[in-house]
Structure 1
Amino acid sequence: MSLKDFEEEDDSLYEHHQIIADPNQTLIRIDKFLMDRLPNTTRTKIQSGIKDGFVQVNDKEVKPNYKVHPGDRIIIALPEPPRDTEVVPENIPLNIVFEDEHLLVVNKEAGMVVHPAYQNWTGTLVNALTYHFQNLPEMEGNDGRPGLVHRIDKDTSGLLVIAKSELAMTGLAKQFFDHSIERTYYALVWGIPEPEKGTITINLGRSPKDRRVTMAFEDDSIGRHAITHYETIQDLRYVALVKCNLETGRTHQIRAHMKYLGHPLFNDATYGGDRILKGTQFSKFKSFVDNCFRIIPRQALHAKSLGFIHPVTKKRMQFSSELPEDMREVLEKWENYVQYT
């Protein structure tokens, strides 16, 4: 389990390293080649970076088994500039749902970035965690992200579990790796999914045109395996409230999968949900939708429930949270609209 599926807020990639292979270079896998030249970097992290397109050879993306040739020009670019991994503690209030000596569950507000990254070095959940808790553990290869075993997007609200001990981190990471943690999200989407209940099993990967965007790929050799189970729980004629259960946890998984299904999340600008996709073109309807967009100026997505086995006590833990005010208000407006029009 790693946190390489982190949130990107950048406009471009930043060149960190450029290596020119020696004229006498013997043929060797690129991941092994880079292991010898990038200090304090694990092979797993290098392989993940190659798969995610952060390594180019002669201006082209390659696979981890690519053999380096004499004279190859290798560029390692990451979605953030080099920076010290030290996290500045900040006295930011936390909405703690549960806490014991090994872990805590927090309810994150929309708009809060989970961990420091480019353009968001302060004000994050991790900055708050390091202020309120001492000596939080870190997973290998995820320096600067103490306590984190998973994350949710900046503008997604809801529940996160945080590890306070090494034992908890190891146990929780194993459950994420085994896909045994229950994660339920509520999403407001455009249109009514058909069928109303199903499973989306489509690979996801970064868009070659914009690496901040996750794309669905029907070719199994591209991207990473991703599974989302969904169920429509409220039909509002033009939009629907959908429950989504994650079996895997890819970057923007629900947002990308629902777009692939033809039902982008309401007001999700990245995936085309910030315009009218269902309904009439009458000015009254447009004004209504614009008003809803102002109420929830983000993708309408909330991490509603979280279930797992406590890594120390072995007891089943289950947590649920209320929908945030902006989602509740927009849902109420849609309910009234379809009832009276």
Structure 2
Amino acid sequence: MTDDAPEPGRDAPDHSQGPGVHHRHAVPEGGASRADRFLADVIGTMSRSRVKALMEAGCVLLDGTPLREPAQTLRAGSIVDLIEPPSAPARPAGEEIPLPILYEDRDLIVLDKPAGLVAHPAPGNETGTLVNALIAHCGDSLEGIGGERRPGIVHRLDKDTSGLMVVAKTPLAHQALSDAFAARDIDRAYLALAWGAITPTSGEFDGPIGRDPRDRKRMTVVKSGGKTALTRYRVLRISHAATSLIECRLATGRTHQIRVHLSQAGHPLLGDPVYLRRIPAAARALPEPARAAALDFPRQALHAARLGFVHPRTGKPLLFETAPPADFRTLESAISDGIGTDC
């Protein structure tokens, strides 16, 4: 054993890695059955679920290499480092981030969220979020509107999904909009580019959605234990029999719902980093350079294009529509190239 190795099974807190607490452990003789159980046991104050979350965030090293598999068996003599990040402030700080606001009044804001912007702070994205921008824009008036960590948020879009969102600025708006989303009393439509020629050209994807037991970062259609999910779709354009531009409407609002349903149907979204795991066979039908543009698209090709709801104070219906951002339009143009078929 080297001089700087900790005693087997003992915790050696170390702050040399910067803020937070650095735990270092040597695996004792006989090894350990699971990495997450070993760390939870030797630290003593941390649950296995917390250990798993820190593994997913890249905060655990095994002999200097990131350890992300909670069930991995540890060998005797291995060194495991867990760097516990400092606690985030209870209330996010305001940050001057440009907001593409389409409408604003005393009760709410409607904005066109750009791809790449996270809705609210979470592990790995504590700053630079929509909530940070909203606090800077609205000041203290947002305090207490829906909770300290996500003030004003009544729904969200995935980080790399672009499009329309509504944010509450008053308790009245937060309650009314939250109730409307829960009751599915919201007019929402998305535009998506999916692999393959989807048939029939209109219909429904119906399948309960739950956490994928093989990969906790993914959702999937499950046989039991999932939440009811229904997506209605309409194909707008098919290009080269390789891709489909579709409009999707949500009858429910589950995590990754459109992405999961399309992937399960064999038509994953172009660019989807989670649900597109291999080059689709349909890509062979695309001529170059359209094929390269489609395969290299860096995010899921999904845009929240339509949002309608009843104003919580006036009772008047409001409806907003936006075109997809430039990267989506450029991709669509490169694929269709005047050869697509309108449906």
TM-score, length basis structure 2: 0.71
In the other structure, the counterpart of 1:223 is 226
| Aligned-residue offset at 1:273 | 6.3
Q: CA 1:164–1:197 in 2, change beyond 3 Å: closer, same or farther?
A: same
1:245 is the counterpart of 2:249:
yes
In the other structure, the counterpart of 1:136 is 142
SS, match of residue 314 in structure 1: coil
Find runs of 4+ consecutive structure 1 residues off by over 3 angstroms. Answer: 74-84, 137-140, 284-288
In the other structure, the counterpart of 2:8 is none
Q: CA 1:334–1:287 in 2, change beyond 3 Å: closer, same or farther?
A: closer
5+ residue gaps in structure 1? 1-58, 60-73
* 8 Å CA contact 1:267, 1:273 repeated in 2: no
In the other structure, the counterpart of 1:232 is 235
Q: CA 1:276–1:200 in 2, change beyond 3 Å: closer, same or farther?
A: closer
In the other structure, the counterpart of 1:290 is 292
In the other structure, the counterpart of 2:260 is 256
Q: Residues 267-311 of structure 1, C-alpha deviation per residue, up to 9 Å, x if partnerless?
A: 112101662330437xx84653223344x3111000001011111
Q: CA 1:136–1:265 in 2, change beyond 3 Å: closer, same or farther?
A: same
Q: CA 1:285–1:246 in 2, change beyond 3 Å: closer, same or farther?
A: same
- Greater relative contact order (CA < 8 Å, ≥ 6 in sequence): 1
| Aligned-residue offset at 1:111 | 0.8
SS, match of residue 166 in structure 2: strand
In the other structure, the counterpart of 1:96 is 101
Residues in 1 aligned to 2:266 and 2:170: alpha-carbon distance in whole angstroms? 42
Q: CA 1:242–1:117 in 2, change beyond 3 Å: closer, same or farther?
A: same
SS, match of residue 109 in structure 2: strand
Q: CA 1:317–1:273 in 2, change beyond 3 Å: closer, same or farther?
A: farther
What is the correspondence of 1:1-341 to structure 2 with a 5 Å cutoff? 77=50, 79=53, 83-134=88-139, 135-136=141-142, 138=144, 142-217=147-222, 219=223, 221-236=224-239, 237-272=241-276, 275-280=279-284, 285=287, 288-294=290-296, 296-336=297-337, 338=339
* 8 Å CA contact 2:112, 2:162 repeated in 1: yes
Greater radius of gyration (CA): 2
Letter in 2 for 1:96: I
Count matched residues. Answer: 264
5+ residue gaps in structure 2? 1-36, 38-46, 55-84
TM-score, length basis structure 1: 0.72
Residues in 1 aligned to 2:232 and 2:166: alpha-carbon distance in whole angstroms? 21
- Please give the root-mean-square deviation of Cα atoms over the aligned residues, in Å: 2.5
